[in-house]
């Protein structure tokens, strides 16, 4: 055997392969494979997003986008006064839209004056808020300042139930669940959380169990209350609290019905549903009835578009019980990976979502939270994904056009390249997928969000007090022959 000949043949093959690789590298795209493995079993992509991408307006020329951005750069945003209050003029670049949060800020103002009042926030999001990340810190900040105890509305089942610290929950595996991510025509309307659940296993018990978390303002389950929908048949539920069992009837006469488990606060309970197979079950609410309460309606894979499928009548029925003052829409993570920098199709879809929110919760303030920074590998280096800024600007556009407040999470966390810094710094504040925050980073983001909202609130209070001083009647003294009379003239007359 000629070992030397084989050696040279092998060397020649390796050399040719290397030369071929160098040649092909010049024409191959910078990004071929994803940078991290994704478990497809744990990722959902909402059906409306897939349809929108399939039928999108990607044919729109980039020149028109450039024209839009040029116009935006020159535009001054001047607000019309609301209740005599007008926030300063803004530019598109620095747009925050505090003007459109006035009704929310007024409720906070009234809560400061009367601690027994109540303010409620619905926080809709995707995997960025999974497990109550970010939201629990926003909630804690508000409850620390304005009062309030309780974790808010909690679904029957959740992908993040095992990892959520603000409330612990477990449930039987025989629940039938329908989600607005992948079902267009549910058996019964979706609840305020975008889900509907059915205990339709007659052979085995269907149950859910909750236990309070350890954090300061959620250490007990306050006034636990079941929310369920309409049905032609009644049912029963057994609540097990310690050694006691309370058997209660489900009377599903209205679009949305409530059933209080017990008054006051408890640490834990289990709910066994009996002969309730035809009744839509939505979840439980926990709050002490005063202060600020924040519901986390996170859903992995969500783009925000499915909210447009809500039944407005059902949502209004929920609102009659929960009475929302602010709805937060925090999306973007699942919209970045479709090979486009033109998000006009997403703007159009999210306008429908915002309009549905306005129809469902009349008079509510709306806040849009933009995509955070996300990094992708280009030429072997992690950099801000090229789609982040175009998406953030699209989100800012539909915020402005729908008269919603806006938080630019991308710039708030540091702008270009910030996700790499959050991943690489010690201790790290984001995961190695260069997309999601860890517990430490989520807390930082929650604090940043609260700080921006609070700056708007402090500015609102100053404007409100200035308005009240100007409107206050003045006392004018006018001398007469032998007496002095006092007359009050209003500057508004």
Asked if the model's pLDDT at residue 479 lies above 90, the reply is no
The C-alpha atoms of residue 188 and residue 198 are separated, in whole angstroms, by: 10
Task: Tell me the three state secondary structure of residue 295.
Answer: strand
Burial degree of 331 (CB within 10 A; 0-12, 13-18, 19+): buried
Residue 128 · residue 304 · CB < 8 Å:
no
- Give domain limits for the chain: 30-489
Return the pLDDT at 489.
45
The C-alpha atoms of residue 445 and residue 331 are separated, in whole angstroms, by: 14
Asked if the model's pLDDT at residue 171 lies above 70, the reply is yes
pLDDT in tens, 309-330: 999 999 999 999 999 999 999 9
Residue of 166, 397, 143 whose CA lies nearest to 298 = 166
Residue 104 · residue 97 · CB < 8 Å:
no
Return the pLDDT at 493.
35
**What pTM, to 2 d.p., does this model score?**
0.86
The C-alpha atoms of residue 6 and residue 1 are separated, in whole angstroms, by: 9
Burial degree of 182 (CB within 10 A; 0-12, 13-18, 19+): middle
pLDDT in tens, 13-63: 545 554 444 444 443 444 433 333 334 344 456 777 777 766 664 445 455
What average pLDDT does the segment 146-172 reach? 95
What average pLDDT does the segment 156-184 reach? 93
In the chain the first and final C-alpha atoms are separated, in Å, by 112
Return the pLDDT at 390.
95
Q: Which residue has the tokens 């909690």?
A: 154
Residue 332 · residue 370 · CB < 8 Å:
yes
Q: What is the largest CA-CA distance in the chain?
A: 135
Return the pLDDT at 115.
95
Asked if the model's pLDDT at residue 485 lies above 50, the reply is no
Task: Tell me what percent of the residues of the chain surpass a pLDDT of 90.
Answer: 75
CATH 3.40.50.1110 for the 30-489 domain, yes or no: yes
Residue of 354, 358, 365, 369 whose CA lies nearest to 96 = 369
What average pLDDT does the segment 193-208 reach? 93
pLDDT in tens, 358-401: 999 999 999 999 999 999 999 989 999 999 999 999 999 999 99
Residues in the chain: 493
């Amino acid at each position: 055997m000629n070992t030397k000949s084989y050696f040279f043949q092998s060397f020649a093959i390796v050399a040719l392969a290397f030369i071929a690789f160098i040649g092909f590298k010049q024409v191959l795209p910078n990004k071929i494979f994803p940078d991290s493995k994704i478990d497809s079993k744990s990722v959902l992509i909402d059906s409306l997003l897939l349809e929108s991408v399939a039928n999108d307006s990607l044919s729109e020329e980039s020149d028109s986008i450039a024209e839009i951005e040029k116009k935006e750069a020159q535009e001054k945003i001047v607000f019309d006064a609301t209740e005599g209050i007008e926030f300063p003029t803004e530019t598109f670049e620095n747009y925050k839209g505090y003007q459109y949060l006035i009704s929310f800020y007024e409720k906070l103002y009234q809560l400061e004056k009367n601690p027994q009042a109540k303010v409620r926030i619905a926080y809709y999001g995707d995997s960025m808020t999974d497990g109550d990340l970010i939201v629990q810190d926003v909630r804690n900040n508000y409850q620390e300042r304005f009062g309030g105890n309780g974790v808010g509305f909690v679904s029957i089942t959740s992908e993040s139930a095992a990892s959520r610290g603000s409330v612990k929950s477990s449930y039987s595996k025989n629940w039938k669940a329908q989600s607005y991510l992948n079902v267009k025509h549910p058996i019964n309307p979706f609840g305020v959380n975008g889900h509907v659940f059915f205990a339709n296993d007659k052979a085995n018990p269907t149950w859910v169990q909750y236990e309070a978390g350890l954090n300061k303002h959620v250490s007990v389950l306050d006034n636990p209350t079941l929310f369920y929908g309409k049905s032609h048949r009644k049912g029963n539920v057994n609540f097990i609290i310690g050694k006691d069992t309370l058997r209660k009837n489900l009377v599903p006469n209205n679009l949305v019905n409530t059933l209080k488990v017990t008054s006051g606060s408890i640490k834990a309970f289990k709910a066994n549903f009996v002969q309730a197979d035809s009744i839509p079950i939505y979840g439980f609410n926990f709050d002490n009835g005063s202060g600020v309460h924040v519901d986390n309606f996170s859903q992995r894979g969500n783009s925000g578009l499915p909210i447009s499928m809500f039944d407005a009548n059902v949502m209004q029925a929920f609102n009659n019980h929960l009475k929302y003052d602010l709805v937060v829409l925090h999306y973007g993570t699942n919209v970045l990976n479709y090979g486009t920098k033109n998000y006009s199709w997403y703007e159009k879809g999210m306008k429908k979502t915002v309009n549905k929110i306005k129809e469902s919760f009349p008079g509510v303030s709306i806040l849009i939270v933009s995509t955070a920074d996300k990094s992708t590998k280009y030429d072997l280096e992690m950099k801000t994904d090229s789609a982040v800024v175009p998406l953030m600007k699209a989100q800012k556009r539909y915020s402005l056009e729908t008269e919603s407040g806006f938080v630019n999470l991308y710039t708030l966390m540091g702008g270009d390249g910030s996700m790499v810094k959050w991943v690489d710094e010690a201790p790290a504040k984001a995961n190695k997928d260069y997309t999601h925050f860890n517990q430490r980073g989520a807390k930082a983001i929650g604090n940043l969000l609260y700080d921006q909202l609070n700056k708007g609130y402090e500015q609102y209070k100053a404007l409100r007090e200035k308005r009240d001083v100007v409107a206050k009647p003045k006392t004018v003294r006018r001398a007469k022959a032998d007496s002095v009379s006092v007359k009050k003239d209003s500057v508004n007359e």
